[in-house]
Structures are given as C-alpha cells and as structure tokens.
Amino acid sequence: MSILSILEPAAATSARPTVTRLVTGTIPATVGSALLVPLADGRVTDYANFDHGASAPCLESVRASVEAALPSYASVHRGNGYASRITTQWYERARAEVHSFVGARADDQVIFTRQTTDALNLLAHAVPADATVVVFESEHHAALLPWAEERTVRLPAPASAAEAVTAVADALRAAPEGPRLLVVTGASNVTGEIFPIAELAAVAKAHGARICLDAAQLAPHRPVDIAALDVDWVALSGHKLYAPYGAGALIGRADWLNAADPYLYGGGATTSVSGDGVVWANGPARHEGGSPNVIGAIALASACATISRHREAIEQHERSLLARLRTGLAQIAGVTTYSIFGAEADRVGTVCFTLDGLSSTLVSAALSAEYGIGVRDGKFCAHPLVGHLLAEAPEHGTAVRASLGLGTTREHVDRLVNAVRTLAANGLRAEYEDTDHGCQPIEDPRDLHAPRIW
C-alpha cells in the first residue's frame, strides 16, 4: 500500500510544529504493521493482530499529531506562556473534534475521561439518586456494573433486536415514577453484533427515559451520530479508536452532569475557593479536575479526524475481511461460532468461537506460539453474556474472540482460518503448560522477556 505524505504549509512562526498528514486512497496506516514475532519452531513471522477489540494499534496519523504536540506541550488553561496558550488551543480543538465525530448537538458537553469505563462511571456518579437504570446482562462490565444495584433493572440477553426493544419497553413501563436511564452497547464486545440503537432510543423516549450509548466497540467501525440516533450520552475510548494514549470521553447532555458533585475534587473544577466554601465550575471543567491528559485528548481527536476521512474505506475493508473469516470458520468441523441475535445479524469485525477438544486457552496459546496470531480468550469482561452463549456447551467455560481492524490483512484472515483448521484436524504441535505469564509451550525457544525500553 503506497502512502503519500503531505506536509502542511509552514506556519507563520518557525516555533510552530509541522504536522505530517498521511493521505491514502485505501485505509489509514497503523504503527506496528511490520511487527515480526517469533514462533515456537524457531521461525519468525509478521504479527496477525486479531485483538482489536481489546486495544487497537496506534494510527500513524495519531503518532504524527502527538509528536507535533510534544515540543510545545504544557499545562492547559490559565497560562499566558506561549506553550500553554498553544496547548490550550489544541486541547479545546480536540474537544470540538470529538464533538463533531459523534454528531453531538450544539449544547452537548464533551468531558475527557480515561476510557469508556471511566466515562460510564462518571455518568453513574451524575445519575439522580432516584433514577431507575435499565441495562441488559449482555453488556460489558463497564456498562453493567456502575449503577446503584437497588435501582437497576437487569434484563436478560435478548434473542433478537425486536425482543430487545420489547424488553426495554416492558421494563420502562413497569419502572417507578422518576428519572429513568437506559444503558446499551452499540456493538457487542463479544460477538460484534450491532444493537438497534435508534429503535431503543425511540422506545426510551416514549417512556420518558434517557439513553446512554456505550460506543467503545462501535465507533471505530461505524459512524455514531448522537443527534440522528436521539441518544443522550455516548461513551467511547481512545485505545479502541487507534489512539492508545489513555483518553476517552463522555459526550452528551449537560443538566445531570452540572447538577452532580464534581467527579474529581481539585484544581480546575472550581471557580472560587474561600473560607466560606467552594463554587464549582459548570461545563466540562466541573468533572475534569486536576491536570488533564492533554496528549491523550489530542491523540483521540487525531484518530477521530482520520477515521472520519476514511470511514467508507474502513467499513469496506472490515466487511470484506469479516465475511472471509466467518465463511472460513463455518467450513471447519468442530468450530462453533456464537451469536446473540442470529447468524444474519449485522455486526462489526468480531467473531466469538470455540473448538471441540481444545480449551480456549490452548487455542489462543497455540495460535500465538505456532502461527504468530494474536487473539483473546476468556469471558471478555462480559461474564453473564458469555455464560449465556455457552450455556449449551458446558465443556467450554470460555471462548476465543478474533477481532479484526486496520491492523488486519487478508493474509492474516487466511492464516487464522488455516491455523484453526489444522488445530481441528491435527491438534497441537507442542505440549503446553500454565505459567505465571500465561499458557505456553513447555519447550519454548522464544525469548518472551520484555527488557526495559526506557
């Protein structure tokens, strides 16, 4: 893939950094795309990354933006020094970029957080004490656990999109008077299936409820539009969006957030402090106490801008690879793939599967050691959902998740399918043992020691 690097015109002052923008007719490039990994037989191969659902590699454009920001990096707000003023502008422009990325309304706030888990816990902190929260048990733990237990209605995993809408309507109809909040994922982090967000938002509004969308797994792969979907809040993570610099965001309505106590007490969250008391700030500052993660915010904004420019190419790339992966796995005897809504449901590039005769841990370890493939095994921080999906397969307590993205190629997909086919037909090439560092071959020549890089 050829990439044309275009430099921005020189700024008025030589102190300003020059940002390299990567322009490509296909998909944006990622850092680490040429990573080579050792195999247990002594060979070396390029890394096949099927773990995007946990954390995506960094975009080259994000790295360029961060490198451009570092020379003049400083703390933001209330600083008159050149570096502080420039960095403050970038920080607030990052807020505007994220606002645009999710199609937020004019008066929606963008509050920078650490990641989706932090964003959802912030919202839980701001939910009125008498609010009823409705959530499916199929949610990631970040969306399932933060709410007050005594005021939370947990719905079983729905068997279809229509059943999800009906279940929410019934739960809200039966809820006591007072504020109500529906919390729902955009795309399942276990199966990749997309929930009927617009329909769920409509039924929530019909019953006087608000809705929060966990877009951690959706936003990297499909557009998110707060206004069009008519949702009240969106939570997302930079590390899922190819910006692994420790920032996420909660975007949405201001009233509950402005009425709540600050999420973090400290500098920046106040307008005045005296012996008579504290006057807390309104707006994003109220919940961004302390020195913010400016570099993380810039990285997140850069990723949002890049993904927006390449959205069509990204979707085409991922749909093609996903179809190839699902077709290949479906042809292997002993492989079972899992779904919430059924095989025909729309989904992002994630497949959850098990292989007869081998635990998910062994499959994951063998794919890594014998084929240079990175997948994830376990319950994916969604224990109730995985338990539901595997209820009829008691021999499998956990599953394998292959999640593709911009760091995945067609050759990687073919390698994964062929590796699983070989494991199904011939089993493991080596004997494995559990160690303090995970499951690995008993005789393993790979150097898995990570020396300090600082």
Catalytic residues, which ones?
381
CB burial of residue 193 (10 Å; 0-12, 13-18, 19+): buried
Q: Is 170 exposed, middle or buried (0-12, 13-18, 19+ CB in 10 A)?
A: middle
- Side chain identity at 443, as an amino acid letter? E
The strand pair at 270-274 and 132-136 is best described as unpaired
Cβ(10)–Cβ(386) under 8 Å?
no
**How does 324-349 read in b/e, with b if 16+ C-beta sit within 10 Å?**
bbbebbeebeebbbbbbbeeebebbb
Structural contact between residues 431 and 420, judged by C-beta atoms closer than 8 angstroms: no
Q: Which residues contact 404 (CB under 8 A, 6 or more apart)?
A: 49, 50, 52, 318, 321, 322, 325, 349, 350, 412, 413
User: Which candidate, 179, 79, 183, 91, places its Cα nearest to that of 129?
Assistant: 179
Residues 136 and 154: beta-carbon distance below 8 Å: yes
d(C-alpha 19, C-alpha 23), whole Å = 12
Q: How far are the Cα atoms of 273, 294, 423 from residue 79, in angstroms, in the given order?
A: 19, 14, 60
Could you give the CA distance from residue 152 to residue 155 in angstroms, rounded to a whole number? 10
Helix H or strand E segment including 228: helix 226-229
- Cα 190 to its chain centre, rounded Å, is 12
Spacing of C-alpha 77 from chain mean position: 29
* Amino acid sitting at position 276: D
Q: Provide the token pair at 361.
A: 């841990």
- Distance CA(322)–CA(122), nearest Å, equals 34
- As beta bridge partners, residue 180 has 132
Closest CA to 298 of 98, 21, 60: 98
Cα gap 360→338, rounded to integer Å: 14
